[in-house]
């Protein structure tokens, strides 16, 4: 009888444990988030950027909608929800302004000496502004004093005005202004060669084949992390 009672108690404890696990699965969780990307609605942004990509010969790409609190998630959860190959395949586009450009440099008409640049870097990397400064100095054959290059993060309102995209939604595809793009060299070395970046909306992400991206965007490739 004692053995039977002990076995019954053990079974009851196991059942209670399973019920507890089941209940917790229905409670709001701060971490980790549910690793499910949301369905894509073929809205204006997706349609417009898809058309631009296809017209430029880019065919291996996809969009994924993510949850509103995506940027509160750890990189590992972002990787999983997007189906990225690693956390290093998660990238962002940032708009930089050359605060020391000559007074006659007001726009992006000169690709080699632009007032603004969009830099695409990995989230896991640390951006090196001095590397970009040195690259631009060399790009102009040293004819422009190095002190004339000082790349800083552009104010958010400037970024929105130039790109047409809000913070965390910035992408270098389909920008309002044809801003020269700088791609961190490390991204070109990722295996497999398919990385993720902003998709034009805060909760929209774009995954694209690196080789096709390079051929279409033709960015400056700079080791800047």
Closest CA to 139 of 117, 97, 172, 111: 111
pLDDT higher than threshold 90 for residue 61: yes
- pLDDT digit string (tens) for 134-156? 999 999 999 999 999 999 999 99
Determine phi and psi for 183, rounding to 5 degrees.
-110, 130
- pLDDT digit string (tens) for 171-210? 999 999 999 999 999 999 999 999 999 999 999 999 999 9
Closest CA to 199 of 35, 37, 57: 37
Place of tokens 């990385």: 195
Q: Which residues of 39-67 are buried (b: 16+ CB within 10 A; e: fewer)?
A: eeeeeebbeebbeebeeeebeebebbbbb
């Amino acid at each position: 009888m004692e053995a039977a009672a002990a076995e019954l108690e053990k079974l009851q404890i196991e059942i209670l444990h399973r019920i507890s696990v089941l209940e917790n699965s229905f409670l709001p969780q701060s971490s980790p988030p549910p690793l499910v990307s949301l369905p894509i609605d073929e809205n204006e942004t997706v349609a417009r950027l898809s058309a631009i990509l296809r017209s430029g010969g880019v065919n291996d790409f996809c969009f994924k909608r993510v949850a509103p609190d995506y940027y509160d998630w750890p990189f590992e959860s972002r990787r999983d929800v997007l189906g990225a190959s690693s956390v290093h395949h998660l990238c962002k586009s940032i708009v930089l302004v050359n605060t020391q450009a000559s007074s006659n440099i007001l726009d992006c008409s000169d690709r080699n000496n632009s007032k603004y640049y969009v830099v695409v870097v990995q989230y896991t990397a640390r951006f090196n502004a001095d590397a970009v400064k040195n690259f631009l100095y060399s790009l102009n054959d040293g004819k422009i004093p190095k002190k004339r290059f000082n790349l800083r993060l552009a104010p958010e309102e400037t970024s929105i005005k130039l790109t047409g995209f809000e913070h965390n939604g910035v992408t270098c595809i389909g920008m309002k202004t044809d801003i020269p793009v700088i791609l961190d060299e490390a991204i070109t070395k990722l295996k497999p060669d398919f990385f993720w970046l902003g998709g034009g909306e805060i909760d929209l992400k774009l995954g694209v084949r690196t080789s096709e991206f390079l051929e279409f965007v033709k960015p400056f490739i700079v080791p800047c992390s």
